[in-house]
Structure 1
Amino acid sequence: MKDILNKLTEHRCLSRDEARAILQDIAEGRYNDAQTASLITVFLMRDISVDELCGFRDALLEMRHPVDLSDYAPIDIVGTGGDGRNTFNISTAASFVVAAAGLPVAKHGNYGATSVSGASNVIERMGVRFTADEGALRRSMDGCRLAYLHAPLFNPAMKAVAPVRKALGVRTFFNILGPLVNPALPAAQLLGVYNLALQRLYTYTYQAAGTTRFAVVHSLDGYDEISLTSDFKVSGVDGEQIYRPETLGLARLRPEELYGGATPDEAADIFRRVLENRSTAAQKQAVVANAAFAIRLMRPDTSLPDCIAEATETIDSGRALQTLKRFIELNQ
């Protein structure tokens, strides 16, 4: 570790293979907490490179609890968190809308770290029991086209750094890694990020990893999702584009309209109301917008207006709610 730290403090970057080996050594307990904290601190003082991020990702995926859902070719819809806006669980609700539209979803999530309620908080409050059993996950996919993968069950290597991360109390490169290590290795991913620098980093990382179906979205006023509170930028394999809500036939929203509640119970109530079609128009529109871009990613020949119409119809018709109900039945 001494040689590694010397290299990093000399402003040199790790190769992909070096980064992979280092994270494996950390997970296997070959470094003490002080050494691990020093390594993490380096990346608090400078940006992580694409090779470094790919190497860390390689290590975690190699050490993951594997689950094979490849024959479903699912999509994952996720945000990095960290935007400090405490929105309700937009990407989680959008996942159920996309599944209700007939598309397979392997949703990877965790408890909230930078917001009141993460995806796992909401899913748990629906009465769902988390599982890493592949058979159970496949039954969920077969029954409602959605499986939920609670991150701690699939990434045991992260336990080795948990005490150090908790002691530091700040966001680290492990937060950046989270969206990249879905153990099901989904065929497509819609990822929301909270700044343009992260959008570029993830885009380059997807390209380096050979991912062919992805979209990284960022609302230009700082949200890690399509918030409709401002113009938003979408980058993918075909380049990048800036969209205005109005040009998509959607209203521009106010930040307070996306408030996620003061407790996980309040957040879960908002989530359920959206799928029950009893939410505010603003809450529904935000979910529809994110779901529409996910549908477009899976069905690239479908126009965005048609994707928006389809996402809206799944809520209006009650199909999104039925998907949620079936999901709960299959995962108790």
Structure 2
Amino acid sequence: MNVTEIFNQLLNHEELTREQTSDLLIAITKGELNDAEISALLTAIQMRGITVDELLGFRDGVLATGVAVPLDSDRYIDVVGTGGDRKNTFNISTTSCFVIAGAGYKVAKHGNYAATSVSGASNVIKNHDVVFTDDIDKLNRCLADVGIVYLHAQLFAKSFKFVGPTRKALPFPTFFNLLGPIINPSKPRCQLLGTANLDQMRLYNQVFQKLGIDYGIVNSIDGYDEISLTGDFKVTTNHYEKVFHPSDLGFDIAKPEELKGGATEEEAAEIFDHVLQNKALPAQKNIVLANAAFAIQVLEKGQKSIEECINIARESIDSGAALATFRKFVEYNK
């Protein structure tokens, strides 16, 4: 790979190919680029804006240099947000995953520690004394017996440590922030993704189309990277594109303060527990129901109405199935 040629392309505002960016990521993990070159690469692409093929190439490189997770199921989903909305909400996606699994669907949740909020997915999971694992046999047994596995990103995406110091030193976010939602090492064929803005929604829409998976992308118009029910939200899937109002789903408008994840990891974990225990504020429960429902609709290939999917999610909580699933998951992973 000719690094000088690639930098000349970037200086000339030319787009890189998917193969080139994959090779670049692999070269970084081999130590073939120094810190100055990595910084220049991240800066140049950030200034110009990343293309779909460039992002897919970096994804290819991350997965090629990481730990693969072959799961013994052909249909399961990941629910994740891009992060960066700085809303400090409780763990909506993670809670939704256990509601989905409680309803009898398979889930492979990929996540990490918080970057811009009090509690990320890994924070709330670890707060319940779960031990993260990259043991493929154990992950497959958990998926078969419990219906859900948790994939802690740091065990699988080995390449991120090679760019970590440079990313931290730069005074702006880079395209690596966009990679997190699409590098689940099990390569799920279904995904619900929350984006913080509509530009990201358009980008990921093209990414998922090229990957050929079943997907839903959601964005709350007021800037949440999930369905917040604080106002109108947009949903784009393989089958439709539509703007919803909470009342369209039979929900009241939520207040921003009802979504807060608290000031500590412990407070965030308590909200997570209360939703699964069916003791949460109505708004907190409704938000989880909404996000879980659109994920279920993705799993069902759009063949069920969103009203049917909300009822499925509601039954998972009301019957205690979601809580039982989480308790079994914790016991399995101590």
Q: TM-score range by the shorter chain?
A: over 0.9
1:123-172 per-residue CA deviation (whole Å, 9 max, x = no partner) reads: 00011000000111112112210000000101111111111112225321
Structure 2 counterpart SS, 1:242: strand
Q: CA deviation at 1:59?
A: 1.0
Alignment of 1:19-38 (within 5 A): 19-38=21-40
Query: Counterpart amino acid of 1:9?
Result: L
Alignment of 1:223-234 (within 5 A): 223-234=224-235
Question: Equivalents in 1 of 2:201, 2:159: separation in Å?
Answer: 26
Question: Equivalents in 1 of 2:159, 2:191: separation in Å?
Answer: 23
Report whether the alignment pairs 1:65 with 2:67: yes
1:190-247 per-residue CA deviation (whole Å, 9 max, x = no partner) reads: 0000000000000001112222x01111111111000111111111222411111101
RMSD: 1.1
Question: Equivalents in 1 of 2:45, 2:222: separation in Å?
Answer: 25
Question: Equivalents in 1 of 2:270, 2:159: separation in Å?
Answer: 33
Q: CA deviation at 1:115?
A: 1.1
Question: Equivalents in 1 of 2:264, 2:169: separation in Å?
Answer: 24
Which runs of 5 or more residues in structure 2 are unaligned? Answer: none
Alignment of 1:1-332 (within 5 A): 1-168=3-170, 170-211=172-213, 213-299=214-300, 300-332=302-334
Query: Counterpart amino acid of 2:126?
Result: E
Question: Equivalents in 2 of 1:252, 1:134: separation in Å?
Answer: 42
Question: Equivalents in 1 of 2:70, 2:87: separation in Å?
Answer: 34
Normalization by structure 2: what TM-score?
0.97
1:97-133 per-residue CA deviation (whole Å, 9 max, x = no partner) reads: 0000000000000000111110000000011000000
Question: Equivalents in 2 of 1:3, 1:72: separation in Å?
Answer: 41
Q: CA deviation at 1:70?
A: 4.7
Question: Equivalents in 2 of 1:192, 1:54: separation in Å?
Answer: 18
Alpha-carbon spacing, 1:70–1:142, altered in 2? closer, same or farther (3 Å): closer
Question: Equivalents in 1 of 2:227, 2:159: separation in Å?
Answer: 31
Structure 2 counterpart SS, 1:215: strand
Alpha-carbon spacing, 1:230–1:70, altered in 2? closer, same or farther (3 Å): farther
Contact 1:77 1:190 in 2 (8 A): yes
Question: Equivalents in 2 of 1:238, 1:46: separation in Å?
Answer: 31
Query: Counterpart amino acid of 1:113?
Result: A
Structure 2 counterpart SS, 1:234: strand
Q: CA deviation at 1:84?
A: 0.8
1:43-75 per-residue CA deviation (whole Å, 9 max, x = no partner) reads: 331211011011111111112201111525210
Question: Equivalents in 1 of 2:73, 2:171: separation in Å?
Answer: 39
Give percent identity, aligned residues only: 50
Question: Equivalents in 1 of 2:224, 2:29: separation in Å?
Answer: 32
Structure 2 counterpart SS, 1:256: helix
Q: CA deviation at 1:9?
A: 2.2
Query: Counterpart amino acid of 2:113?
Result: Y
Aligned pair count reads 331
Normalization by structure 1: what TM-score?
0.97
